[in-house]
Amino acid sequence: MQKSNTEQRYVIYNLPLHLELMNATSEPKDIHDLISNGTKYLRSANLPIFKIENLEICGYELLIRGTGKFRSPAELFPAAAAVGRLEELDLAALAISLEGMRELPHNMQIHVNLFAETILATDINKLIMVLKQNDKNGANHSMCVELIETPIMPRPEDLLLKIRALQNAGIEIAIDDVGCGASSVEVLVLLEPAIFKIDRNYVTRAYDTPESRRRYLRLVKIAKSLDCKIVAEGIDTDEDRRHAFELGIEMGQGLLTGPLPQ
């Protein structure tokens, strides 16, 4: 108990609460500290997926954010990969993201992000159980795994077996950021994704130049030739939405439904 010098009153000093508050604002010492204490340094953020036709929210992408210099995934995951702990961080991020799903409206399409390396390194039956068990409260969500690409797609034949197991369990597969990563037509044909996500760099202000229009249209044609549903990232303006609608794109993500998670 601490006594004030200016008034006859007492302030209760709560050491556990003080330590909790200090931890909540602290930064990890390094990437090892962050991975080992994921619930302390990682938080989930939900990005809506909406119907292009009427802006109705039909799903959410479950994202992860770190702390301090590891706040952005662009810093977070490469740092983990550099020390050989990418898959460990990826699974920790998945668990924290799925916890955030409990607060979402029912009957949503839920997208989670996983690296191909993580899918290969993880017991696929356990992964399916994790993805399925988070929907036991009657929320009636459908699950989709967004495959995060790396410059070289590892062991495509082995990956295909695990992707098929996910698909057979009723979990859809999406290829994320098409046009920005290592996608090839061969990989897209091999994996048979249900959803094709076009990177925002091909969507936002896509009609500014003839070249950008051609690139956008080319990606849409590839998706439709593979019978994929399309999510256009970067639908930030009514004009972006109008162009997407004219191209027959079903879903979008972007600033039209509010600011992006920080």
As a whole number, mean pLDDT of residues 206-229 equals: 91
Q: Looking at the domain assignment, is residue 247 inside a domain?
A: yes
Looking up residue 46, the CATH number of its domain turns out to be 3.20.20.450
Strand partners, 241: none
Is 130 inside a domain boundary? yes
| Residue at 17 is within a domain | no
Q: Is position 4 within any domain?
A: no
Q: Structural domain tally of the chain?
A: 1
Hunting for tokens 């390094």 — which residue is that? Answer: 30
Residue 122 in contact with residue 165, Cβ under 8 Å?
Answer: no
Q: Is the pLDDT of residue 62 over 90?
A: yes
20 class by beta-carbon count within 10 Å (0-12 exposed, 13-18 middle, 19+ buried): exposed
CB-neighbour burial class of residue 71 (10 A; exposed 0-12, middle 13-18, buried 19+) = middle
Give the per-residue pLDDT at 208.
86
- Write out pLDDT tens, residues 220-261: 999 999 999 999 999 999 999 999 999 999 999 999 988 877
Whole-number CA gyration radius for the chain:
21
* Domain region containing 227: 28-257
Q: Is residue 2 part of a domain?
A: no
Is residue 11 predicted with pLDDT exceeding 50? no
Average pLDDT over residues 20-41: 79
